[in-house]
Structure 1
Amino acid sequence: MNDFPFGLVGFDLDGTLVDSVADLAAAVNHALAEIGRPPLTIEQVRPMIGGGSRVMLQQALTATGGDERLDDLLPEMLAFYAAHIVDHTRPFPGVLEALDALRKLGITLAVVTNKRERFSLALLDALGLTDRFSCIIGGDTPGLVAMKPDRAPIDLLLRKCGNSGPAAFVGDSIYDVDAARAAGVPVALFAPDGGGVPGANAVFADYRDLLPTLTRMAKAQPTI
């Protein structure tokens, strides 16, 4: 037994566990180039990430002149991304150590992302991360009725792994915060560049601080 306050910790993927913005931006720019649009910078693409591939491309198209070609370009973008999924994507510093520390305590770990399941699995497999997680829920996982910020993905997580004990969620965006809070799960926000999202129960900037952050977050909750 241990006195860690959570038995289950779920994580978002892009922007939370892995820094994937360069590969996502390359895929977006490949789609834009197909219709002669100018490329976007990584910093322009970064805030477009989190709502799933369709939302990301729609925002990129809107920013460069209109989204009337969205349905045509989405398969092009996804095919390019599948071929370049970990060209530059890497876990954030300290992620592996934090995950392994949680597992050593017997904590059940999961991924809940709006990224399509096949891409989520391919990315995690390529980085050697898959085996660290008891379940992986993507934006199109069977049984899922809606993506974050809807609470449905967190509810599915709890149905699959909820017997592990009290749950917490770790994310980096308003999609994560809104979904977790709607499901009644406390949420810690990973914000390596500072800032925050309204509604987060806690904020941390370095994965070396993840376990202490979760512990402090639990103590601040009236019930867990």
Structure 2
Amino acid sequence: MTAFSFPIVGFDLDGTLFDTGGDLAAAVNVTLAGEGRALLPTEAILKMVGAGSRHMLGEALAATGGCDDALLDRLYPKLLVAYEADIARLTKPYPGALDALDQLAARGVKIALVTNKLEHLAEAMLAGLGLRSRFATVIGGDTLGVAKPDPAPIREMIARLGGGRAAFVGDSRFDVEAAHNAGIPVVLVSFGYRLDAIEALHADAVIDHFADLIPALEALPA
């Protein structure tokens, strides 16, 4: 087997490798219930995902009676507690995701997870799913004090894994901007929790299924 184009491939978590929406929505509804607010359908909450969990909670509060900064400050920690308590009950890898990771590992690729989710929550989720060993490193939104679209988490990923050519796989503008600002190409999945039109994001490639990931990475210019 010839050397693979990228010795390092990083992945976003929510909406890219993992469908986490069910557990996120459940945590939102636990938080709403604690305030005596009406619960929201999962489908409605999923439309609020894509700009971070604090933003998601703010949207849910706004939709169920209003929200101000003081209320959001008070309830956001409660959301995180509710989420961590049941973080891997409904969450599952997207179809073909684990097969794609297996194919990369078979090519000797070092695989990283770079997410804006708090690091301890990402670690807890992976542990709950029994998948932590698949990733050489995990970098969360609080690991460095800055999060995507800042390029620092991508650069840290590359440094931790020994340097070399890298690519990133994500689902949002945060992923595109972070990767491009770090000087590496990015492949977007067409599913996930994106708030922007995919055509406006200028990814280096777009895939509809993880079966297309290896060919997409191999087709990227050297």
Q: Does the TM-score normalized on the shorter chain lie above 0.5?
A: yes
- Amino acid aligned to 1:88: L
SS in 2 for 1:30: helix
How far off its partner does 1:181 sit?
1.4
1:210 aligned partner: 213
Q: Aligned residue for 1:88?
A: 90
Q: How many residues align?
A: 216
> 1: distance between equivalents of 2:13 and 2:63?
25
Counterpart Cα distance in 2 of 1:127 and 1:59: 28
Instruction: After TM superposition, give the deviation of residue 108 of structure 1 in Å.
Output: 0.6
Moved more, 62-71 or 196-205: 62-71
* Most deviating of 197-206 and 111-120: 197-206
Query: Which residue of the partner structure matches residue 138 of structure 1?
Result: 140
How much does 1:103 deviate?
0.4
Measure the CA separation in 2 of the matches of 1:162 and 1:201: 24
Q: Is residue 50–residue 175 contact of structure 1 (8 Å, CA) maintained in 2?
A: no
Amino acid at match of 1:184: G
Per the alignment, residue 67 of structure 1 pairs with 68
For 1:209, the aligned partner's letter is: D
Match of 1:109 among 108, 111, 118: 111
Alignment of 1:188-207 (within 5 A): 188-192=187-191, 196=198, 197-207=200-210
**CA–CA distance in 2 between the matches of 1:9 and 1:134?**
10
Q: In structure 2, what is the Cα distance between the partners aligned to 1:87 and 1:44?
A: 20
Deviation for aligned residue 1:83: 1.3
Structure with bigger RCO (C-alpha 8 Å, 6+ apart): 2
Residue deviations 1:150-208 (CA, integer Å, cap 9, x gap): 22211221221242x21000001111111111111111001138962512111101111
CA shift at 1:79, angstroms?
Answer: 1.2
Assess if the C-alpha contact under 8 Å between 1:11 and 1:169 holds in 2: yes
Distance 2:170 2:68 in 1: 28
How far did residue 86 of structure 1 move?
1.1
TM-score normalised per structure 1: 0.88
Contact kept? 1:23, 1:86, Cα under 8 Å:
yes
The whole-number CA distance in structure 1 between the counterparts of 2:62 and 2:161 is 38
Aligned-residue identity in percent: 50
| Partner Cα separation in structure 1 for residue 123 and residue 89 of structure 2 | 16
Query: Secondary structure of 2:187's match?
Result: strand
Gaps of at least 5 residues in structure 1 are none
Match of 2:170 in 1: 171
Q: 1:148 to 1:183 in 2, by over 3 A?
A: same
Aligned partners of 2:203, 2:36: CA distance in 1, in Å? 40
Q: TM-score, normalised by structure 2?
A: 0.89
Is 1:127 aligned with 2:126? no
Distance 1:114 1:186 in 2: 19
CA distance in 2, matches of 1:11, 1:86: 18
Contact 2:122 2:140 in 1 (8 A): yes
Is 2:15–2:191's contact at 8 Å kept on the other side of the alignment?
Answer: no
- Partner letter of residue 179 of structure 1? A
Change beyond 3 A, Cα 1:184–1:41: farther
- Supply the AA of the counterpart residue of 1:18: F
Q: What SS class does the counterpart of residue 48 from structure 1 fall into?
A: coil
CA contact (8 A) 1:94 1:206 kept: yes
Q: Which amino acid aligns with 1:207?
A: F
